[in-house]
Structure 1
Amino acid sequence: MNQILLHQRRNASQTVTGCRSCGGTSLQPFLDLGYTPLADRLIKPETCEVPELVFPLVVAFCPDCALVQILETVAPEILFADAYPYYSSFSPALLEHSRSNVEQRLAERELGPSSLVVELASNDGYLLKNYVERGVPVCGIDPADGPAAAARKAGVPTLCEFFTESFAREFVSEHGQADIVHANNVLAHVADTNGFVSGIRNLLKPDGTAVIEMPYLLRLIEHVEFDTIYHEHLCYFSLTALDNLFRRHGLFLNRVEELAIHGGSLRIFVEPFEATDTGVKQMLAHEKAIGLDQPAYFTEFSARVDALREKLVALVEQLKGQGHSIAAYGAAAKGATMLNYCGLDTRHLDFVVDRNVNKQGLLMPGAHLPILDPEELAKRRPDYVLMLAWNFADEILAQQQAYLAAGGRFIVPVPEPRIVG
């Protein structure tokens, strides 16, 4: 590895030795995905010859509190720089998911002009705009300049800041506490897990509720969703690990819903008073019964990941050997992990398509595949398309009926490589 590159990496990241939740020092690694580039750091074509920053991607289990986590923390100013390209509003499925979430909250709780709803990592305002349309005061908090600016342009008040414990205190002193705090797919991203949770505790009214979503560790393991592991995702939560984390800060996990989105997610309802329902108790009991709180549960995962890689690479190479052309769909972070761990690049795939116009014209990290508009599938008609954004498979298949009707086929890699169409 280039010495300058290695020096940059050492200055830009830190290897943790204590658990991100409880501080325990008995972390047990069970999966090593090697040195990989940052999954969301898309490459400008004119800089493709410049060496990319790469970081270790090792996953470990904490036997003291059951938290699964990666061991490398990349500095947030590098992870979430001003070029951060993810805009939630480009996914119709995610927009509908968010609209439904808000409708349920409005049905459960009286919210009006004197209320306050806050979203942490609010992105481009895709969720909060549903409250704005109903006359409920909101404030988004997001550290990425582009999405925060897009939210403000859409009429969603948004602060471009990292959410921390100290920021929460400042916010409350100026704006007051919140009736509802939304935090979707962000808890896993923060390096100071305890500070973030403590900030939520400060932000909530005494009768307030934090509605938090994150991928569910159990489904990740069951479905071999290893590509959802990347440097932006520091933690991978079971309900057991979440319960341990929140109780430490005087918050209680009172309700839980399991969702299909993102390959299997949890929506938890956290409050500063204890009123745990039966569903939470049953899920905690199930996790204990299957051993999700024990290191032995994870021992075979690495071998299953390797087996999936071997099958996918063999399938792609077989199709290429038969003269077929192959593209990919979805320039998402999970796609970067999939491509880099499997060693798939311009030798195997011609291009990637993505609906996010902010990604089009750039290159995938590591693999350096060009990112194009999905309309290119109809124009170029590759024989096969590797579905990197498999978590939106139904949405993508519905959008690509013309491609399928013309004889195109999709390769869905998870949980087992298979051909669709």
Structure 2
Amino acid sequence: MVRCRICNNEDFIELIDLGISPLANSLLKNKKEIKKEYLLPLKALVCRKCYLVQLSKKANPKKIFNKNYLYYSGYSNTWKKHCKKYSKKIIKRFSLTNLSHVLEVGSNDGSMLENFSSENIKVSGVDPSVSCNEISRKKNIYTIDSFFSKTVAKKIVKTRGKADLIIANNVLAHVPDLHDFIWGFETMLNCNGIITFEFPHLYSLIKKNQFDTIYHEHYSYLSIKPLQKLFKMYDLKIFDIEKISTHGGSLRVFVCKNNSSHSIRTSVCNVIKEEKVFGLYNLRTYKEFSKKIEKIKADTLKFFNNASKKNKKIVAYGAPAKGNTFLNFCNIKAKNIIFTVDKNKMKQKKLLPGTHIPVYGPEKLLQIKPDYIFILPWNLKNEIYEEVNSIIDYKVKFIIAIPKLNIF
């Protein structure tokens, strides 16, 4: 029986069924691993009571966030710029000094925290991925190999002290047990400290057809009212919200303790109003979503069929989780896309999960002149377009499929 991760309700409607799918970041080392591939249903549901969108089946987080985890935030120049801009803004707004303590939950390779440590601010990181943490420690960032929880928070408080700022970027959606997780934040936070959560906004997912952001790492798909309900249970409140462009449309949510001095800004009411007007708290909105996604799939397959008839060569750029959701849902295989390229060396010389498309470094684009390059991380299309054109000496057309098929 599926129960809502916030309100424990058992009554849901289906948002979309993406079929049986592999773990989106679990690239294969070779063809021998194909037989052992871990497959799970990938279906998103909407809670009829609190409107939290969540997966019907929970993948074991230890199968996802382990020594083989291959997402490193430092490979994206766009993300590194985002981190630098955030750190400067937050240090100034909340007057952080060398007496402050900043904790990042889901610290990955330290791309965020290094911006604070360079300002002589005490930093701590928590992440379950040992491979990411090895890189973080090389930057002299104190890092704990663990999933974050109330128990872990208590240990950090004893050894490092409470935090004035807790950062959790693109982490909240990855948590199967939201209650223990948020309880940890309440335990870790100073009386007048703040938490910032960044996450892809459900509003953008539905409005812009971003179905490929649905994969097993993302247990939940977030909007404000369900989060208010969750935070209230742990004496926390949302006091400010900023819209940001990352991942195709995200929110930065500022949270503090109920008795802190931070007053609630009008931005909170404005975002909730926008969500209501759009229909995020109306079940009819969700019933139309799958029809739009089926059209994207049909348009994409039509393009590939026509390209095949004309003997066009198609390759891809990137090996992101969202790309693997898209390719598996559309049943696009290595016969359709010859290979993909990615800057992350840990992904190179591997096979994409499910589709088994080989991954190479960007230099592979110099060895073959494709007619089309399918950009899988569409949120980085401008960065990728410029990068590819800086290394190739031939003309090529680019493709993205979200929010609809577009060839340019």
**TM bucket, shorter chain:** over 0.9
Matched, 1:190 2:175: yes
SS at match of 1:366: coil
User: Which of 231, 245, 264 matches 1:276?
Assistant: 264
Matched, 1:233 2:218: yes
Give the % identical residues: 34
Matched, 1:379 2:367: yes
Query: Could you tell me which residue of structure 1 aligns to residue 278 of structure 2?
Result: 290
Q: What per-residue deviation string (whole Å, max 9, x for no partner) do you get for residues 241-285 of structure 1?
A: 222221221111100011111011000100003621101111112
- Letter of the aligned partner of 2:278 in structure 1? I
SS at match of 1:55: strand
SS at match of 1:74: coil
Contact 1:355 1:373 in 2 (8 A): yes
Give distance in 2, aligned partners of 1:166 and 1:49: 37
SS at match of 2:255: strand
Query: Could you tell me which residue of structure 2 aligns to residue 69 of structure 1?
Result: 54
Give distance in 1, aligned partners of 2:330 and 2:31: 25
User: Which of 165, 183, 205 matches 2:150?
Assistant: 165
Matched, 1:104 2:89: yes
Contact 2:365 2:392 in 1 (8 A): no
Tell me by how many angstroms 1:23 deviates: 0.9
Give distance in 1, aligned partners of 2:32 and 2:169: 33
**Aligned pairs (5 A) from 1:25-104:** 25-104=10-89
User: Which of 304, 318, 321 matches 2:306?
Assistant: 318
Matched, 1:362 2:350: yes
**Aligned pairs (5 A) from 1:137-152:** 137-152=122-137
Matched, 1:408 2:396: yes
Contact 2:103 2:125 in 1 (8 A): yes
SS at match of 1:380: coil
SS at match of 2:277: helix
- Letter of the aligned partner of 2:292 in structure 1? R
Tell me by how many angstroms 1:359 deviates: 0.4
Tell me by how many angstroms 1:404 deviates: 6.9
- Letter of the aligned partner of 2:143 in structure 1? T
User: Which of 340, 351, 361 matches 1:352?
Assistant: 340
Give distance in 1, aligned partners of 2:393 and 2:96: 47
Give distance in 2, aligned partners of 1:243 and 1:20: 14
Aligned residues: 405
Contact 1:122 1:140 in 2 (8 A): yes
Tell me by how many angstroms 1:81 deviates: 2.1
Tell me by how many angstroms 1:165 deviates: 1.4
**Aligned pairs (5 A) from 1:206-217:** 206-217=191-202
SS at match of 2:58: strand
Q: Which moved more, 1:78-87 or 1:238-247?
A: 238-247
Tell me by how many angstroms 1:46 deviates: 4.8
Tell me by how many angstroms 1:335 deviates: 0.8
SS at match of 2:100: coil
Contact 1:239 1:284 in 2 (8 A): yes
Q: CA RMSD in A?
A: 1.3
Tell me by how many angstroms 1:403 deviates: 6.1
Q: Which moved more, 1:252-261 or 1:38-47?
A: 38-47
- Using the size of structure 2 for normalisation, the TM-score is 0.97
Give distance in 2, aligned partners of 1:24 and 1:404: 54
List 4+ stretches of structure 1 deviating above 6 A. none
Contact 2:23 2:216 in 1 (8 A): yes
Give distance in 2, aligned partners of 1:163 and 1:392: 29
**Aligned pairs (5 A) from 1:319-334:** 319-334=307-322
**Aligned pairs (5 A) from 1:386-401:** 386-401=374-389
Contact 1:60 1:69 in 2 (8 A): yes
SS at match of 1:50: helix
Give distance in 2, aligned partners of 1:325 and 1:179: 53
Query: Could you tell me which residue of structure 2 aligns to residue 418 of structure 1?
Result: 406
- Letter of the aligned partner of 2:199 in structure 1? M
Contact 1:63 1:294 in 2 (8 A): no
Gaps of 5+ in 1: 1-15
- Letter of the aligned partner of 1:392 in structure 2? L
Give distance in 2, aligned partners of 1:404 and 1:281: 48
Q: What per-residue deviation string (whole Å, max 9, x for no partner) do you get for residues 338-395 of structure 1?
A: 1100000111010011110110011000000110001211321211011111110111
SS at match of 1:358: coil
Query: Could you tell me which residue of structure 2 aligns to residue 254 of structure 1?
Result: 239
Tell me by how many angstroms 1:50 deviates: 2.1
